[in-house]
């Protein structure tokens, strides 16, 4: 058979993303090849683009992007779960289900977590383990760009479960990037009373539309103590929130989170700052305040299914998250733009769908 070629984004290093012609993958036994319908930009990808690597997921040069949905184009020998033409979401990882962590239900920490990247391409090879354990069939009426939200929402669902918040609890979410907004929305749908701490005016509007009852915009506030005090006045009797979610990934916001929670409350550090980062926390406040600190990473096959169900039910406002659309040829420019706008605080899309289009 003659070799077919496709367009794919290849990350070569820090801020060096190129669109190239690479061979169309062929499925080995148990694998599928997916024709990508929609791939979504993600804060993690931006982080990897900025740093030039990811501690767990990839080393350049490498195919890039991990949130997608598409059609099964080809299935390898022995693959019985899917047929050519099926619409699917292949998740970006699958656990081994045999190691110390998997046996304790912490598949997100699997010692042999198998990652898959390469969503910003016409076709994606999906390894057999992900086909078997973490690829989901998309209902006919669900747009692929919505189905592609499964991965980030699965991380959020896990973070929400780990925080132990119950309906009626008060929750502060610091940060209104895509993940912060998803947290607010998922929490509000679960009956949690959400207060959003945001930086920019357009984020305040999004937070409100997605279910935050109160929004604190920190523009104009000077210094951590003023921001913390303002957030605490928005909590029941000013005692602090039952749960605080940090979704900015800076040491400063990690420290704010601990100051915004109530005695006996839970802080979940959801944003991952660069390695080597340290924070200073008040030991007295933690100990005598009986504060629980958590830091959630990634997702499990179970939370992927919970997230997928929420998206499929249409209760989750997917359209609020996919605010930009463009073609694969624009992908280097999309990342340059995301970097620029995050540096200048400019208005930006929540997520951009890279659409490969119907054929």
- Considering only residues 117 through 176, tell me which ones interact with Zn ion, judged by CB under 5 A: 152
96 vs 279, beta carbon nearer Zn ion: 96
DSSP letter string, 28-91: -TT-EEEEEEEEE--HHHHHHHHHS-BTTTB-SSEE----EEEEEEEE-TT--S--TT-EEEE-
97 vs 290, beta carbon nearer Zn ion: 97
Does an H or E element contain 20, and which?
strand 16-23
75 vs 350, beta carbon nearer Zn ion: 350
Distance, CA of 159 to CA of 308 (rounded, Å): 15
Residues whose CB falls within 8 Å of the CB of residue 66, separated by 6 or more in sequence, listed in order: 42, 44, 45, 57, 92, 115, 116, 117, 119, 151
Output the smallest distance, CB 355 to Zn ion, in A. 17
Q: Nearest Cα to 227, choosing from 237, 240, 235, 217? A: 217
178 vs 211, beta carbon nearer Zn ion: 178
Output the smallest distance, CB 247 to Zn ion, in A. 13
Among 6, 91, 102, 171, the residue binding Zn ion under the rule CB under 5 A is: 102
Output the smallest distance, CB 273 to Zn ion, in A. 17
By CB under 5 A, how many residues form the interface with Zn ion? Answer: 9
Q: Nearest Cα to 318, choosing from 139, 169, 174? A: 139
Q: Nearest Cα to 161, choosing from 296, 318, 315? A: 296
Using the rule CB under 5 A, is 44 a contact of Zn ion?
yes
Q: Hey, what are 106's tokens?
A: 């912490």
Using the rule CB under 5 A, is 99 a contact of Zn ion?
yes
Using the rule CB under 5 A, is 110 a contact of Zn ion?
yes
First-last CA distance in the chain: 22
68 vs 192, beta carbon nearer Zn ion: 68
User: Contact, 32 vs 132, CB < 8 A?
Assistant: no
Using the rule CB under 5 A, is 197 a contact of Zn ion?
no
Of 92-100, 181-189, 193-201, 211-219: span binding Zn ion (CB under 5 A): 92-100
Among 27, 95, 118, 301, the residue binding Zn ion under the rule CB under 5 A is: 95
Distance, CA of 123 to CA of 218 (rounded, Å): 43
Using the rule CB under 5 A, is 96 a contact of Zn ion?
yes
Using the rule CB under 5 A, is 37 a contact of Zn ion?
no
Kindly report the CA angle at 215 between 281 and 203, in degrees rounded to 5? Answer: 95
- Considering only residues 272 through 301, tell me which ones interact with Zn ion, judged by CB under 5 A: none
25 vs 152, beta carbon nearer Zn ion: 152
Phi, psi of 72 (to 5 degrees): -70, 120
Peptide bond into 298 cis (omega under 30): no
Torsion of CA 258, 259, 260, 263, to 10 degrees: 80
Binding string, residues 62-81; x marks residues near Zn ion by CB under 5 A:
-----x--------------
Distance, CA of 167 to CA of 277 (rounded, Å): 34
Using the rule CB under 5 A, is 40 a contact of Zn ion?
no
183 vs 256, beta carbon nearer Zn ion: 183
Output the smallest distance, CB 120 to Zn ion, in A. 12
Using the rule CB under 5 A, is 109 a contact of Zn ion?
no
97 vs 340, beta carbon nearer Zn ion: 97
93 vs 170, beta carbon nearer Zn ion: 93
Q: Which residues bind Zn ion (CB under 5 A)?
A: 42, 44, 67, 95-96, 99, 102, 110, 152
């Amino acid at each position: 058979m003659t070799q077919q070629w496709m367009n794919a984004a290849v990350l070569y290093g820090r801020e060096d993303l190129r669109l190239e012609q690479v061979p169309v993958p062929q499925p080995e036994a148990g694998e599928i090849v997916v024709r990508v319908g929609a791939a979504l930009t993600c804060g993690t990808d931006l982080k990897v683009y900025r740093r030039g690597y990811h501690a767990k997921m990839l080393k350049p040069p490498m195919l890039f992007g991990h949130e997608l949905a598409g059609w099964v184009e080809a299935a390898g020998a022995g693959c019985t779960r899917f047929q050519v033409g099926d619409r699917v979401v292949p998740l970006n990882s699958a656990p081994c289900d045999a190691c110390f962590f998997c046996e304790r239900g912490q598949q997100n920490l699997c010692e042999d977590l198998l990652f898959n990247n390469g969503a910003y391409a016409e076709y994606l090879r999906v390894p057999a383990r992900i086909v078997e354990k973490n690829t989901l069939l998309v209902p006919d009426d669900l747009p692929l760009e919505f189905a592609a939200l499964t991965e980030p929402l699965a991380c959020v669902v896990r973070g929400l479960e780990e925080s132990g918040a119950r309906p009626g609890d008060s929750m502060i979410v610091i940060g209104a990037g895509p993940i912060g907004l998803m947290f607010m929305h998922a929490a509000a749908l679960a009956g949690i009373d959400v207060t959003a701490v945001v930086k920019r005016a357009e984020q305040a509007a999004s937070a409100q539309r997605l279910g935050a009852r109160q929004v604190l915009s920190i523009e104009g506030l000077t210094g951590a103590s003023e921001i913390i005090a303002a957030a605490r006045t928005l909590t029941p009797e000013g005692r602090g929130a039952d749960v605080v979610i940090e979704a900015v990934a800076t040491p400063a916001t990690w420290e704010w989170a601990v100051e915004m929670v109530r005695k006996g409350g839970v802080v979940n550090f959801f944003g991952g700052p660069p390695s080597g980062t340290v924070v200073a926390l008040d030991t007295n406040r933690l100990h005598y305040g009986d504060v629980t600190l958590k830091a959630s990473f990634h997702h499990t096959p179970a939370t992927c299914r919970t997230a997928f169900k929420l998206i499929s039910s249409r209760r989750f406002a997917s359209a609020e998250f996919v605010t930009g659309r463009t073609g694969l040829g624009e992908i280097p420019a999309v990342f340059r733009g995301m970097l620029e706008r995050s540096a200048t605080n400019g208005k930006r899309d929540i997520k951009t769908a890279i659409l490969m289009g119907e054929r």
